[in-house]
Chain A
Amino acid sequence: MAELVSHPDEKKVVSARFGKGAANIDRYLELDGYKAVQKAIALGPDGIVNEMKTSSLRGRGGAGFPTGMKWSFVPKESAKPKYVLCNGDESEPGTCKDRLILEHDPHAVIEGVMIAALSIGAKTGFIYIRGEYRYLVNIMRKAIADAYAKGFLGKNIFGSGVDLDVHWHTGAGAYEVGEESALMESLEGKRGIPRIRPPFPAVVGLWGGPTVINNVETLASVPHVIFGGGQWYADLGTPKNGGTRLFCLSGHVSKPGVYELPLGYPLRKMIYEVAGGIPNGQKLKAVVPGGSSTPMLKADEIDLPMDFDSCAKAGTFLGSGGVVVLDDTTCMVKFAQRVIKFYQHESCGWCIPCREGTDWLKKTLTRFHAGGGLKKDIDNIQYLAENMLGRTFCPLGDAAAMPIISIVKKWRNEFEDHLEGRPCPYGEKTAEQLLPVLSR
Chain B
Amino acid sequence: MPDVTITVDGKKLTAPGGTLLIEACKRVGIEVPAFCYYPGLSLQAACRMCLVEIEKMPKLQTACTVPITDGMVVTTESEKVKQARKSMLELVLGNHPLDCPVCDAGGECELQDMTFKYGAADSRYMEGKLHKDEQQWSPVVFFDRPRCILCYRCVRVCGEGMDVWALGVQGRGVSSVIAPNQEDHLECEECGMCIDICPVGALTSGAYRYKTRPWEMKHVGTICTHCGDGCKTTLGVRRHDTGMQIVRGDNRDKSGINGDFLCIKGRYAFDFTDHRARITQPLVRKDGHLRPASWEEALEVVAHEFRDVRESKGGAAIGVIGSTRTTNEENYLLQKFARLVLQTNNIDHHRTADFPALAAALKGKDGATAGMRDVFSAPAMLLIGNDPTDQHPLLAWQIRSNVRLHKARLYLANTQPIKLRRQAAVFAHIADGGYAALLKFLAGDDSATATLLRDGTPRETLIALRDKIKAEPDLIIMFGAEIKGADVQALAAFAASLPKARLIALADYANSRGASDMGLYPDLLPGYTASADHFAREWDAQLPAQPGMSLAQMTKAAADGRLKAMYVVGSNPVARFDFDPFVLTKPFLVVQDMFLTNTAAIADVVLPVACAYEKSGTFTNSAGDLQQVQKAGDLAGVKPDFEIIVRIAERMGFDVRKLVPFGREGVRADMGQSRGAQSGEADRHYVWLKAQNLEPKMSPLDPQALFDEIQRVVPGYQISRAALFSGTEVRTHALTAGNGGTSAGTDLIRSSNDTLFTSGTLGRYSHALNSVMENRRRAPAGAAAD
The residue of chain B having its C-beta at the shortest distance from the C-beta of A372 within the complex is B126
Tell whether B286 is near chain A: CB-to-CB under 8 Å: no
A347–B59 Cα gap in the complex (Å)? 21
Please pick, from A353, A358, A367, A392, the residue contacting B126 in the complex, using a CB distance under 8 A. Answer: A367
B-side interface residues toward A, CB under 8 Å?
A: 43-49, 51, 58-60, 65, 83-84, 87-88, 91-92, 94-95, 124-127, 149-150, 169, 171-176
Most central of B58, B127, B173 by chain A CB within 10 Å: B173
A345–B173 touching, CB < 8 Å: yes
* A residues 341-392 touching B (CB-CB < 8 Å): 344-353, 355-360, 363-364, 367, 380, 383-384, 387, 390-392
CB distance from A389 to the nearest CB of B (A): 9
CB distance from A192 to the nearest CB of B (A): 8
A391–B48 touching, CB < 8 Å: yes
A424–B51 Cα gap in the complex (Å)? 39
- Say which size band chain A's interface belongs to: 20 to 34
Tell whether A191 is near chain B: CB-to-CB under 8 Å: yes
B125–A364 touching, CB < 8 Å: yes
Give every chain A residue within 8 A of B44 (Cβ-Cβ). 196, 350
A390–B88 Cα gap in the complex (Å)? 13
8 additional A-B pairs beyond A174-B172, A348-B173, beta carbons within 8 Å, are A350-B150, A352-B49, A353-B91, A355-B173, A356-B174, A357-B91, A364-B125, A391-B48
A390–B91 touching, CB < 8 Å: no
Q: Which 9 A-B pairs have the closest CB atoms?
A: A349-B176, A387-B87, A356-B91, A347-B173, A363-B127, A359-B174, A349-B173, A390-B59, A349-B172
CB<8 Å pairs between A and B, sample of 10: A348-B172, A349-B150, A349-B169, A350-B150, A356-B95, A364-B126, A387-B88, A390-B58, A391-B84, A393-B46
A353–B125 touching, CB < 8 Å: no
* A residues 191-214 touching B (CB-CB < 8 Å): 191-192, 196
The residue of chain B having its C-beta at the shortest distance from the C-beta of A389 within the complex is B59
Give every chain A residue within 8 A of B51 (Cβ-Cβ). 391
The residue of chain B having its C-beta at the shortest distance from the C-beta of A349 within the complex is B176
A392–B47 Cα gap in the complex (Å)? 9
B94–A360 touching, CB < 8 Å: yes
B174–A347 touching, CB < 8 Å: yes
The residue of chain A having its C-beta at the shortest distance from the C-beta of B93 within the complex is A356
A346–B173 touching, CB < 8 Å: yes
Give every chain A residue within 8 A of B48 (Cβ-Cβ). 351-353, 391-393
B59–A349 touching, CB < 8 Å: no
Give every chain B residue within 8 A of A353 (Cβ-Cβ). 48, 87-88, 91
* A residues 278-296 touching B (CB-CB < 8 Å): none
A380–B123 Cα gap in the complex (Å)? 10
B173–A387 touching, CB < 8 Å: no
A350–B45 Cα gap in the complex (Å)? 9
Known: A352-B46, A393-B45. A344 touches B173 (CB 8 A): yes
The residue of chain A having its C-beta at the shortest distance from the C-beta of B49 within the complex is A352
Give every chain B residue within 8 A of A346 (Cβ-Cβ). 173
Give every chain B residue within 8 A of A387 (Cβ-Cβ). 83-84, 87-88, 91
A393–B535 Cα gap in the complex (Å)? 68
A356–B172 touching, CB < 8 Å: no
Give every chain B residue within 8 A of A390 (Cβ-Cβ). 58-60
Known: A380-B124, A391-B48. A349 touches B171 (CB 8 A): yes
Give every chain A residue within 8 A of B172 (Cβ-Cβ). 174, 176, 192, 347-349
A-side interface residues toward B, CB under 8 Å?
A: 174, 176, 191-192, 196, 344-353, 355-360, 363-364, 367, 380, 383-384, 387, 390-393
Give every chain A residue within 8 A of B175 (Cβ-Cβ). 349
A344–B59 Cα gap in the complex (Å)? 23
Please pick, from B46, B83, B92, the residue contacting A350 in the complex, using a CB distance under 8 A. Answer: B46
Known: A352-B91, A353-B88, A384-B124. A359 touches B173 (CB 8 A): yes
Give every chain B residue within 8 A of A384 (Cβ-Cβ). 124
CB distance from A382 to the nearest CB of B (A): 11
B46–A191 touching, CB < 8 Å: no
Please pick, from B49, B87, B169, the residue contacting A191 in the complex, using a CB distance under 8 A. Answer: B169
A351–B174 Cα gap in the complex (Å)? 10
A380–B94 Cα gap in the complex (Å)? 13
A352–B88 touching, CB < 8 Å: yes
Most central of B84, B88, B95 by chain A CB within 10 Å: B88
A174–B174 Cα gap in the complex (Å)? 14
The residue of chain A having its C-beta at the shortest distance from the C-beta of B92 within the complex is A352
Give every chain A residue within 8 A of B88 (Cβ-Cβ). 352-353, 387, 391
A363–B174 Cα gap in the complex (Å)? 12
A383–B125 Cα gap in the complex (Å)? 12
CB distance from A431 to the nearest CB of B (A): 22
CB distance from A186 to the nearest CB of B (A): 12
Most central of B45, B60, B65, B83 by chain A CB within 10 Å: B45
The residue of chain B having its C-beta at the shortest distance from the C-beta of A195 within the complex is B45
The residue of chain B having its C-beta at the shortest distance from the C-beta of A174 within the complex is B172
Give every chain B residue within 8 A of A392 (Cβ-Cβ). 48
A344–B173 Cα gap in the complex (Å)? 7
A387–B59 Cα gap in the complex (Å)? 12
The residue of chain B having its C-beta at the shortest distance from the C-beta of A348 within the complex is B172
CB distance from B150 to the nearest CB of A (A): 7
A36–B400 Cα gap in the complex (Å)? 52
Please pick, from B47, B58, B60, B83, the residue contacting A351 in the complex, using a CB distance under 8 A. Answer: B47
CB distance from A61 to the nearest CB of B (A): 21
CB distance from A247 to the nearest CB of B (A): 29
Please pick, from A176, A347, A367, A383, the residue contacting B127 in the complex, using a CB distance under 8 A. Answer: A367
CB distance from B182 to the nearest CB of A (A): 19
A224–B176 Cα gap in the complex (Å)? 44
A392–B84 Cα gap in the complex (Å)? 11
